[in-house]
Amino acid sequence: MGFVMWNQAPVQVPARIVWAAIDHDAELPCDITAPSSQDGVKLVLWFKDSTGIPLYSLDSRSGVPISAAQHSTIANDLGQRLFFSVGATPKEARLQIRNIKTSDGGVYRCRVDYFNSPTRNYRVNLTLAVPPEEPRIFDAQGKEISTVAGPFREGHELFLSCQVSGGRPPPRVTWWRDGVEISSTSHPSAVEGTSAMVNQLFISTVTRDFFGSKLQCRAAGSKLVPAVSKEVAIQVHLKPLRVKIISPNELLTAGRPVPIRCEAWGSFPAAKIVWLLDGEPLRSADITVHTDSNDANLTSSILTLRVSAENDGAELTCRASNPWFSGGSIEDKRIISVA
């Protein structure tokens, strides 16, 4: 069926927004309820943007019920994907568009002619949801983080900024840790010329349980398109928690070397272990071994100690510290006996 131009100027009514996603279907509402029970629908026409040629018509001018009216569509790709459903009630009437394409976005107008009542017009803005770009994560110095953020120090602050460009509607940007949302406040970027949403994560005190964890920045706009996310591992430097000289405190023999072992737990990177005798540093230990694990981070130091008779009653100290922290060293002491 050929279409003629319908030159009647449309009434400018507010457009209702309907969101849709590429390759999905959409429904544009058009309430065709007659103003009175004695009236009925004569003709339904759908237009797109400013085009004067109808995309779709439902013709009941012959007097047949609207459910039996003749359907006609424009002879193009969009027309082949359209169907006007009268619905169970006139309020539920809608234009169905299958397999949405980018070119389908725009303002549609539904014109409803009645036999006795004035024409009604409805406008629907079909807006296509667009997924945002992958989030970008930056540290406090503005350096972009690809896989590992940090190092951060136990007891100190953590700052990361997540920036997400694009997306329609603008996405909500959130921070997550172990499946739990920890920061939900995002705002437009303050950088001039940048159309991006930003969420700045600030943690005033980094605790030990951040060691080995990951943080995820997630951007979600419309439910019609999947959220996008980026995850980074968090590197945390830890203070030593405990230090102990674990070799038995046995009677030492003057002039005979004896290995003494000290272990420090909790430090990352490896604890620096220093041995002292009566407050004076001893030479470096013969062996130092560090083992990383989520619950231990064990550093072992073995000192070969050679004492003389005058060292009887001296104080032997094993001191552990993490060079990333000023102060905060911990130590274990014992009084040695020499025969």
The last residue of a domain, from among 82, 98, 129: 129
d(CA 319, CA 275): 6
81 occurs within a structural domain:
yes
Residues 232 and 250 in one domain: no
Residues 178 and 124 in one domain: no
3-state secondary structure of 276: strand
84 occurs within a structural domain:
yes
3-state secondary structure of 320: strand
- Is 120 within 8 Å of 29 (Cβ atoms)? no
306 occurs within a structural domain:
yes
What secondary structure letter does DSSP report for 192? T
Q: Residue 7: its pLDDT value, please?
A: 44
Residues 191 and 248 in one domain: no
3-state secondary structure of 94: strand
Residues 250 and 202 in one domain: no
Residues 198 and 246 in one domain: no
The C-alpha angle 41, 37, 13, rounded to 5 degrees, equals 55
Q: Residue 289: its pLDDT value, please?
A: 81
What secondary structure letter does DSSP report for 124? E
What secondary structure letter does DSSP report for 306? -
Residues 203 and 266 in one domain: no
Q: Residue 14: its pLDDT value, please?
A: 85
Amino acid at residue number 301: S
- Cis ω on the peptide bond leading into residue 35 (within 30° of 0)? no
Token couple for 202: 């600030």
Rounded to the nearest 5 percent, the helix, strand and coil shares of the chain are 5, 50, 45
5 occurs within a structural domain:
no
d(CA 165, CA 132): 6
149 occurs within a structural domain:
yes
Residues 98 and 152 in one domain: no
Per-residue pLDDT of the chain (339 residues; tens, 9 = 90+): 444 444 454 556 789 999 999 999 999 999 999 999 999 999 999 999 988 899 999 999 999 999 999 999 998 999 999 999 998 999 999 999 999 999 999 999 999 999 999 999 999 999 999 999 999 999 999 999 999 999 999 999 999 999 999 999 999 999 999 899 999 999 898 776 668 999 999 999 999 999 999 999 999 998 999 999 999 999 999 999 999 999 999 999 999 999 999 999 999 999 999 999 999 999 866 777 877 765 578 999 999 999 999 999 999 999 999 999 998 899 999 999 999
Q: Residue 50: its pLDDT value, please?
A: 86
3-state secondary structure of 79: helix
64, 87, 102, 233, 339 from 146: Cα distances, Å = 66, 52, 32, 9, 60
Q: The domain containing residue 107 runs over which residues?
A: 16-129
The CATH number covering residue 167 comes to 2.60.40.10
d(CA 159, CA 271): 26
2 occurs within a structural domain:
no
Q: Residue 49: its pLDDT value, please?
A: 92
User: What contacts 24, CB < 8 A, 6 or more positions away?
Assistant: 99, 100, 224
Residues 263 and 289 in one domain: yes
Residues 223 and 270 in one domain: no
Q: How many domains, the chain?
A: 3
d(CA 159, CA 183): 12
Q: Residue 293: its pLDDT value, please?
A: 65
The last residue of a domain, from among 174, 201, 236: 236
Residues 118 and 55 in one domain: yes
7 occurs within a structural domain:
no
Residues 62 and 78 in one domain: yes
Q: What is the pTM of this model?
A: 0.79
3-state secondary structure of 74: coil
The last residue of a domain, from among 212, 236, 260: 236
Token couple for 241: 């928690």
- Is 108 within 8 Å of 29 (Cβ atoms)? no
Residues 280 and 207 in one domain: no
Picking from 232, 60, 33, the residue whose alpha carbon sits closest to that of residue 146 is: 232
- Across the beta sheet with 82-85, what order do the strands follow? 26-29, 94-97, 82-85
d(CA 218, CA 228): 6
Residues listed for the chain: 339
Instruction: Provide the CA 297 distance to its chain's centre, in angstroms.
Output: 30
181 occurs within a structural domain:
yes
